[in-house]
Amino acid sequence: MISGASRTPGGRAKNVILLIGDGMGAAHRFAGQLLTAGRSGRLAMDRLPHLGQMNTLSVDHETFVTDSAAAATAIATGSKTINGAVSMNADGRPQPTMLELMQQAGRATGLVTTCQLTDATPAAFGAHVPHRSDQSEIARQFIHETRVDVLLGGGGAYWYPLGEANPFSDPEPLRAMSRGTAGRLAEDAQDRGYQLVTSPRDLAGVAGSADVRRVLGLFAGQELFVQSEEGKGDLYDPAVSLAEMTASAIQLLERSADGFFLMVEESAIDRMAHRNNAPLTLKGVLELDRAVQVATAFAAGRDDTLVIVTADHETGGLAIAGSGDTPYPYEPGGGLLDTMLAHEDGPFPVADEPYGFVVGWATTGHTAAAVPVTAMGPGAETISGTFENTDLFPMVLEAAGIEVGARG
C-alpha cells in the first residue's frame, strides 16, 4: 500500500488541478488551435510552460490499446491494469488513488465532468470496482466511503432507484430514466451532508454560500450532451458548462486551509470522436480549453497551485490536412486517392486565414498514440520528455509534498 503522509510544503503545490480531455490527442489540440487561434496562436492549454508526452498502453490480456478505465487508473493510482478495471491493479487488488492520498493529507477534493460522474475517468479517482459498468456502486463509494467533497456532472440516473422519478429531462426520455441499483443515493448524499443541486441557479447559490462544504451537482440523467454522428441527433448545449462547473468547484474547494485536489474531465471529445463527429469533437476541445482558462486564472499570481492538462488516451486516429492542398505528386492518384481513402470532415476555417483545414479519421475506437501533457506551477518542471501514464501519479504527489510509499 501507499503512505499518504504529508511533508512540509515548502515550495510545494498546496492545490492541484488536473484537467483531462478524454480521447484528446495532439491532433485534437492542434485542430482546436487552428479553429480559434490560427496557425501561430495557441490554446490556453498549450500556453502552459512545461510540456511532456505520455504513453497510454494498458496491460490488458487481449489488447495493448487502453480503455478509459485502465488509462484513468494508471494516472490515478500509478498502476497499470486491464481494460474495464477501476483503481484495481491487474491482479484485482484495490489501489489507493491520488485523490484519496490528497484527502488523507488534509486536502479538500473534487471531481467535475461533462460525462456521468460515475463513468470511468472520475470513477478511477474516487472508487474501486472490478468493472466500470457498476456505476451505482461507484456512486455509493463516492459518498459512503471516499466522501469526495465536490461532485459535479451528469449521470444522475444512477443515483435514483430503477423505475423511480428523478428531476432530469434529458433530450431523450430513456437517457433520464432512473437506473440505480444501490438504493436512494441522491437522498443518501443529502443525509450525509451533501447539498444536492440540479440547476445552474442552485449551483451558483451553493458556490456563493460560505456554509456549504459538500456538494453533489447532477445536471443530466446521462452525459451533458447527446453523442451521435453529425446531424443524427447530436447535441452539445448543456445547461451548465464545464468552465462554470470548474469555477464553482474551485470556489468551493479553495475554502480549505490545507488546499485541494480537483480533477476536471471533458468527455465529449472522446464520445464524439467515437462517432467521427468532428464539429462536436472540436467543441469538446474548446470547452476544455475554457475550463483550462478558469484554472490558470486561479493559479496566476500564486506559487501554490499546480495545473496539468492531458488526456487518458487518443480516440479516432485523428489527422489534419489543408482543405485546398495540391495533390501529392509522387504517388499514383495523388491527392484524390488520399481523399477517397480517408473519412474526412470539414472544411473548417483557420482563424484569420483565407484557407481552411479538414480532419481525417482512422478509426471509431481508441488508438495507442501517446498524448501531450502540459503544466504550470510548483512541480510542473518534472513534466518533460516521454513517460508512462503511471509516472504522472508520483509526479503529482511529490509536487504536493505527499510521500509515495510501496504499492501493493
How do the pLDDT tens digits run along the chain, 408 residues long? 344 444 434 579 999 999 999 999 999 999 999 999 999 999 999 999 999 999 999 999 999 999 999 999 999 999 999 999 999 999 999 999 999 999 999 999 999 999 999 999 999 999 999 999 999 999 999 999 999 999 999 999 999 999 899 999 999 988 999 999 999 999 999 999 999 999 999 999 999 998 899 999 999 999 999 999 999 999 999 999 999 999 999 999 999 999 999 999 999 999 999 999 999 999 999 999 999 999 999 999 899 999 999 999 999 999 998 877 655 555 544 444 344 444 678 899 999 999 999 999 999 999 999 999 999 999 999 999 999 999 999 999 999 999 876 555
Cα-based distances in Å from 265 to 8, 72, 160: 30, 11, 23
Per-domain residue ranges of the chain: 15-21+51-226+236-276+303-312+371-399
Mark whether 248 is an active-site residue.
no
CA 139 to chain centre: 17
Give ∠ CA 374-376-379 in degrees, rounded to 5: 100
> Helix 278-299 and helix 26-36: axis angle, to 10°?
90
Task: Give the residue from 34, 24, 22 showing the smallest Cα distance to 321.
Answer: 34
Grid coordinates given for 20: 483531462
Give ∠ CA 353-358-359 in degrees, rounded to 5: 135
Q: How far apart, in whole angstroms, are the C-alpha atoms of residue 276 and residue 364?
A: 6
Q: How much is the pLDDT for 2?
A: 41
**Total H helices, total E strands in the chain:** 13, 15
Enter the CATH code of domain 15-21+51-226+236-276+303-312+371-399: 3.40.720.10
Q: How far apart, in whole angstroms, are the C-alpha atoms of residue 282 and residue 301?
A: 30
Is 202 strand, coil or helix? helix
User: Taking the alpha carbons of 19, 21, 27, 29 in that order, is the dihedral positive or negative?
Assistant: negative
Grid coordinates given for 91: 491482479
Global pTM reads 0.94
Q: How far apart, in whole angstroms, are the C-alpha atoms of residue 200 and residue 151?
A: 14
Q: Could you tell me if 23 and 372 are in contact, meaning their C-beta atoms sit under 8 angstroms apart?
A: no
Q: How much is the pLDDT for 333?
A: 46
Helix locations, 39-143, DSSP H: 68-77, 98-104, 120-126, 135-141
Out of 6, 58, 68, 248, the active site residue is 68
